Amino acid sequence: MCSDVWLSSKQFPKPNMIPVNHYRTGDQALVREINLSLIMNHLRTNAPISRAALAETTGLNKTTVSSLVNELIERQFVQEIGLASPSSGRPATLLKLNPTAGFIVSCEIGTYFILVICTDFSPKVIWRHQEPFDLELGQHAIIERMLAILNQAIESGCSACGPLLGITIGIPGLVDQSTGTLLFAPNLGWKDIPIRAILQESFKVPLFVDNEGNIAALGEHYFGAAEGYDEVLYISAGVGLGGGIVHNGHVFSGVTGVGAEFGHMTLDPDGEICKCGNQGCWETQVSQQALFRHVWRRINQGEVSRLAEMTGRRRDALTVPLIVEAARAGDAVALTALEIIGRHLGIGIASLVNALNPELVVFGGILSLAGEFLMPVIEKEVEQRTLKWNRGAMRLVLAKHGSDACVMGGVATVYQAILAQPDIVGALFA
Ligand SMILES: [Zn+2]
């Protein structure tokens, strides 16, 4: 059965911010909460593990571990899964996080689609739905459709694994995290939409709303290419260009939560006008549209390309996978267009690496489908343009989750909140 206990999203820690009241005096309740979180996090990374091993790795005494583990078992977050067979001594009961502790729903509103997944607590995807929309339908109709799909996801999750633990919505725009309001989404043409308030009318669970790049960065950190890395730069190139910064294991997004808008850094002061209103933003140089523009310009100039035939000379039939296919066949137009995009990507990434000194750069989004052609060019630019002390400590990799990066990040967002403060989320079961 689904939880029907309402908790204001303000009662939940934002995934990337520690509430001011977190810094209270170190009373017993706080110590217990920290220890619960410590055990949950160790179970996430080290399970299956025994109580004795948990005590050893966390530094907590065995009595404390035993008491807290029993509490987590009672609240369904943890389960016993059998006995270990040590070389000496008594067999010990092994523990892990309970996959059926509840389910998480995660949604991405893209520029042309809505994607919703539902996962158990492992987190395994147990339900998935994606459908396109026409922006001309208008924001009201599109949001209504999103609500309907979320309800389908919840119905499916409820029948599979217990209570709903939380919902995350990722949007390609700037979000006021204190209110969950979409401030501006240039590629949707939407402004000032109180997404979280709209959701609160229908869903009485923790709700998280954030920029898709921030969310995807957390997803790669938790479940993807950046697992085990705490200082990560995530770049997502598709319809728009964005990303996120993971700092010390948490998403860093600036004082009002709208940072990491990399796509709107000015890289060409005399360049094209961007949808944000400024001129020469990085996004005008690097996006799916910019790639298509380079291809089409050459075809129109009379250069021979198999893409003309593959698309029936229809520009709207051009896709990134088609360009990749053409490039693999040695098509010069496709290869040149990818080279130009890769160069612009590399120049911007090099600047960000110099500014942020990450240990890992993860490249995702639709353009990462062309990673085999873009990555060598990016690497060359980064090699040339970053300070050697930055470059030496850094690796550049492709994202793991591809087009699911945002929704997997949405799952990570709820997951991180639960692991940070299992007590608060546990109130849902009261
Ligand atoms: Zn811009």
Q: Quote the ligand 1 centre to 93 CA distance (angstroms).
A: 55
Q: Taking a C-beta distance cutoff of 8 angstroms, is the pair 167, 414 a contact?
A: yes
Q: Quote the ligand 1 centre to 396 CA distance (angstroms).
A: 25
Q: Taking a C-beta distance cutoff of 8 angstroms, is the pair 321, 355 a contact?
A: no
Q: What is the mean pLDDT of the chain?
A: 89
Q: What is the DSSP string of 142-153?
A: HHHHHHHHHHHH
Q: Quote the ligand 1 centre to 243 CA distance (angstroms).
A: 14
Q: Which of 15-29, 32-46, 215-229, 310-324 has the lowest mean pLDDT?
A: 15-29
Tokens read off for 83: 């006995």
What is the rounded CA–CA span in Å between residue 280 and residue 274? 7
* 19 has a pLDDT exceeding 70: no
Q: Quote the ligand 1 centre to 77 CA distance (angstroms).
A: 43
What is the rounded CA–CA span in Å between residue 238 and residue 346? 15
- What is the arithmetic mean of pLDDT over 132-140? 93
Q: What residues are neighbours of ligand 1 (ion), with CB under 5 Å?
A: 264, 274, 276, 278, 281
Q: Taking a C-beta distance cutoff of 8 angstroms, is the pair 394, 360 a contact?
A: yes
* 200 has a pLDDT exceeding 70: yes
- What is the arithmetic mean of pLDDT over 391-418? 91
- Does 296 or 20 have the greater pLDDT score? 296
Tell me: the pLDDT tens digits for 140-195? 999 999 999 999 999 988 777 788 999 999 999 999 988 999 999 988 999 999 99
* 106 has a pLDDT exceeding 70: yes
pTM: 0.86
What pLDDT sits at residue 157? 84
Q: Quote the ligand 1 centre to 283 CA distance (angstroms).
A: 6
Q: Quote the ligand 1 centre to 277 CA distance (angstroms).
A: 6
Secondary structure class of 414 (helix, strand, coil): helix
* Other beta carbons less than 10 A from residue 240's beta carbon: 29
Given 3.50.50.60, 3.30.420.40, 3.40.50.1470, 3.30.9.80, which CATH number is that of 227-399?
3.30.420.40
Q: Which of 39-48, 240-249, 341-350, 351-360 has the lowest mean pLDDT?
A: 39-48
What are the extents of the domains in the chain? 9-98, 103-220+406-417, 227-399
Which residue's structure tokens are 């608060």? 424
What pLDDT sits at residue 424? 60
Q: Quote the ligand 1 centre to 145 CA distance (angstroms).
A: 29
Q: Quote the ligand 1 centre to 278 CA distance (angstroms).
A: 5
Percent of the chain with pLDDT over 90: 70
Length of the chain: 430
Given 3.30.2350.10, 3.20.20.80, 1.10.287.990, 1.10.10.10, which CATH number is that of 9-98?
1.10.10.10
Q: Quote the ligand 1 centre to 387 CA distance (angstroms).
A: 27
- What is the arithmetic mean of pLDDT over 297-303? 94
What is the rounded CA–CA span in Å between residue 43 and residue 40? 5
What pLDDT sits at residue 166? 93
CATH 3.30.420.40 fits 103-220+406-417, yes or no: yes
Beta strands 78-83; 93-97: pairing state: antiparallel
* 22 has a pLDDT exceeding 80: no
- What is the arithmetic mean of pLDDT over 263-287? 95
Tell me: the pLDDT tens digits for 369-403? 999 999 999 999 999 999 988 888 899 999 999 88
Q: What is the dihedral of CA 105, 109, 114, 115, to 10 degrees?
A: -40
What pLDDT sits at residue 13? 45
Tell me: the pLDDT tens digits for 47-102? 899 999 999 999 999 999 999 999 999 988 999 998 877 666 677 899 999 999 99
Please determine whether the domains at 103-220+406-417 and 227-399 fall in the same fold group of CATH: yes
What pLDDT sits at residue 12? 43
